[in-house]
A and B are shown apart, each in its own frame.
Chain A
Amino acid sequence: MLEIKNLCVSIEDKQILKGMNLKINDGEVHALMGPNGSGKSTLSYVLSGKEGYEIVSGSIHYNGRDLLNLDVDERANEGIFLAFQYPMEIPGVQTSFFLKTAINAKRKYQGLDEIDALEFAKLIKSKAGDLDISPEMLKRDLNVNYSGGEKKKQEILQMSLLDPSMAILDETDSGLDIDALRIVSEGVNKLRTPNNAFLVITHYQRLLNYIKPDFVHIIADGKIVKSGDFSLALELEEKGYDEISKSA
């Protein structure tokens, strides 16, 4: 699915990622944990193709293709999805309109006709219902005056509608209450198939109790310092980043 090799990335001449290696196979869930400022969001932005990041060296391959050659929208239409740590507010654009536009962009890319109004209404009703998002919410401007948790749910709704093959969740659990955390996790688990993969960025083991990762990686200062299975998350909770990084 995704192979990151020796990736070095800098922002405005400041090096942030310093030789990242990560291989994610179809059907796998990987968790990425690490202290504030270690480069987790930077990695997620680079994967989605955001401007302003200089790839100093290294490579990213996605299903055998050089990901770095694709534009942001192409990557999205090829199945890369990033649930943002800080979702953008879009005043003046109704949420449901945005969702429909995104669905149609993907359909167009796949050579399909636009989704018909009835089909869209049905689809959105069921997906939003699963996440406990009210129809009124969808009539509001996208993310405008949404609470922190509502924004995160909105990201997951978009993910479930776009049905990506490689989803990156950047601290989706931060800001969610206990019930929302469970609902969102169920939403993610429902999407899991042998053909897609997830990279879950989080600070808390709690999320990983719901979304069981196959691998846990610890990133510090721009590179992965330790990888393991779920037990690494437990160990981390106990010992903290400092000790784990040292023992690596």
Chain B
Amino acid sequence: MEINKENNHKSVEDISAKTQYIIENQNPFRNFKLENYKYAQLHKKIIPKNSVRDFKYFRDIKDLSLDLSTKSLKSVNLRSTLDNWSFYSNDSYFRVESLIERSGSLIPLDEFEQSIFSLDISKMTENITITKKKEKHQTIILLNTNVEDEVPKSILIDLSDNSNLDIIHYNISNHKSFLYFESKQGNHSKLNFITFQSNNAHTRNEYFASLGSHCHFELSGLNFDNVGVNDNYSFIQHLKPSSSSREVFKSIVDKGAITNFQGKIYVDSIAQKTDGYQMSRSLLLDDISKANNKPELEIYADDVKCSHGSTVSQINKDQIYYFNSRGINKNEAQKILQKAFLSETLENISSVELKDFSLKLLDNLIN
């Protein structure tokens, strides 16, 4: 796979001169070789454990499916969109010609009445750009639950000032799945992204978020019970003053699986009063599995509050003992503790029904 080098050095109005200077004077590939562990091993053929496509809860969700046939969707060119946007990360695996040149559809959310709807992206071959201008809160469910499908997906989100959106991404039972997700938020907008990843063979998901002033961006991810390599890469950039971001990733690995998390919070020199938080935690259930967590902060403003934390640990034996001492066996105790560990990432789903659904799904997949 080839990385599009041009995009790494894009000049963008939003970025201040100081930042621009730093970008241009850095070697874009400084860590690439050293960190190639974190890219999903595409050549390996691994099959996920089982299929959950017929899982009954998904049938309910599919009923919420957005009827796109009634609208004549406008086609957009991804390259021209991206050129106007502002990322310059070296770590994207997806800014490849093949993805960018593909045709794309534009989904204007304001034209749909529903407040919750789902989009089955499993069979999608075109790029999708989602726009939202109105304040009204909506939730999109992205279903990515197709074992056979290996087409990389790209989803661009363009939120105008004051708009408010939840995205819940179910990334379950895939051989190989790739998602490129990029969002641009206008002032005072809110975007809440939750990604639920389980039972996949290889996955790589990239999230690029660009925040205007007084914005809030939230990214929560959980992944467990995957085989192969699971990558999550995020790049959150605060470009204007007074925006906040909160990112929490939790992963559980076992049976030799690998989970990688790399997340950067970038604060431009004019983005004073930024409030950024990032936490990545991994649980290893055995000693042949691996978790690589790499938090990164790149801050050019002086009046900001940014914190990050990262842990890799095993299930606490004393906690298991406590459960056992109350008659609860080891197997059940472990499941409860795994759910307890992961469920924090589902806490802030706005829709009560979807939160319940997600907790049930977690319950079901862990048991």
Kindly identify, within residues 63 to 94 of chain A, every residue whose CB is under 8 Å from any CB belonging to chain B. 71-73, 76-77, 81-82, 84, 87-88, 90-93
Q: Is the CB of B340 within 8 A of A105?
A: no
Tell me the complex Cα distance, A155–B104, Å.
60
Question: Digit string of B308-343 for contact with A (CB within 8 Å is 1, else 0)?
Answer: 000000000111011111111110100011011101
A50 interface residue per 8 A CB criterion = yes
A109 interface residue per 8 A CB criterion = yes
Task: A49-B324, A71-B324 are known; give 6 further A-B pairs, CB within 8 A.
Answer: A72-B321, A76-B325, A84-B325, A101-B332, A102-B328, A162-B327
Query: Shortest Cβ distance from A154 into chain B, in angstroms?
Result: 11
Query: Shortest Cβ distance from B140 into chain A, in angstroms?
Result: 27
- Given A77-B327, A92-B340, the answer on whether A105 and B321 have CB atoms closer than 8 Å is no
Query: Shortest Cβ distance from A142 into chain B, in angstroms?
Result: 9
A206 interface residue per 8 A CB criterion = no
Q: Is the CB of A76 within 8 A of B327?
A: yes
A48 interface residue per 8 A CB criterion = yes
Query: Shortest Cβ distance from B146 into chain A, in angstroms?
Result: 31
Tell me the complex Cα distance, A106–B343, Å.
26
Q: Is the CB of B322 within 8 A of A73?
A: no
Query: Shortest Cβ distance from A107 into chain B, in angstroms?
Result: 9
Give the one of B323, B330, B332, B343 with max A CB within 10 A: B323
Residues of A within 8 A of B341 (CB): 92
Kindly identify, within residues 84 to 141 of chain A, every residue whose CB is under 8 Å from any CB belonging to chain B. 84, 87-88, 90-93, 98, 101-102, 105-106, 109
Chain A residues with a Cβ under 8 A of chain B: 48-51, 71-73, 76-77, 81-82, 84, 87-88, 90-93, 98, 101-102, 105-106, 109, 158, 162
Query: Shortest Cβ distance from B317 into chain A, in angstroms?
Result: 7
Specify the chain A residue showing the minimal Cβ separation from B324.
A72
Q: Is the CB of A88 within 8 A of B336?
A: no
| Number of inter-chain CB pairs below 8 Å | 63
Q: Is the CB of B336 within 8 A of A105?
A: no
Tell me the complex Cα distance, A28–B343, Å.
44
Residues of A within 8 A of B322 (CB): 84, 87-88, 90
Specify the chain A residue showing the minimal Cβ separation from B326.
A102
Query: Shortest Cβ distance from B249 into chain A, in angstroms?
Result: 16
Q: Which 8 A-B pairs have the closest CB atoms?
A: A92-B340, A72-B324, A76-B327, A88-B322, A105-B327, A102-B326, A73-B324, A77-B327
Residues of A within 8 A of B323 (CB): 73
26 pairs, CB–CB < 8 Å, chain A vs chain B: A49-B324, A50-B321, A51-B317, A51-B321, A72-B321, A73-B324, A73-B325, A73-B328, A73-B329, A82-B325, A84-B325, A88-B318, A88-B321, A90-B319, A90-B337, A90-B340, A91-B340, A92-B339, A92-B343, A92-B344, A101-B332, A102-B326, A105-B327, A105-B328, A105-B332, A158-B326
Query: Shortest Cβ distance from B126 into chain A, in angstroms?
Result: 40
Tell me the complex Cα distance, A15–B344, Å.
43
Residues of A within 8 A of B340 (CB): 90-93
Specify the chain B residue showing the minimal Cβ separation from A105.
B327
Q: Is the CB of A76 within 8 A of B319?
A: no
- Given A88-B319, A101-B336, the answer on whether A76 and B324 have CB atoms closer than 8 Å is yes
Tell me the complex Cα distance, A98–B333, Å.
10
- Given A92-B340, A92-B344, A93-B336, the answer on whether A106 and B327 have CB atoms closer than 8 Å is yes
Query: Shortest Cβ distance from A79 into chain B, in angstroms?
Result: 10
Q: Is the CB of B327 within 8 A of A93?
A: no
Residues of B within 8 A of A91 (CB): 340
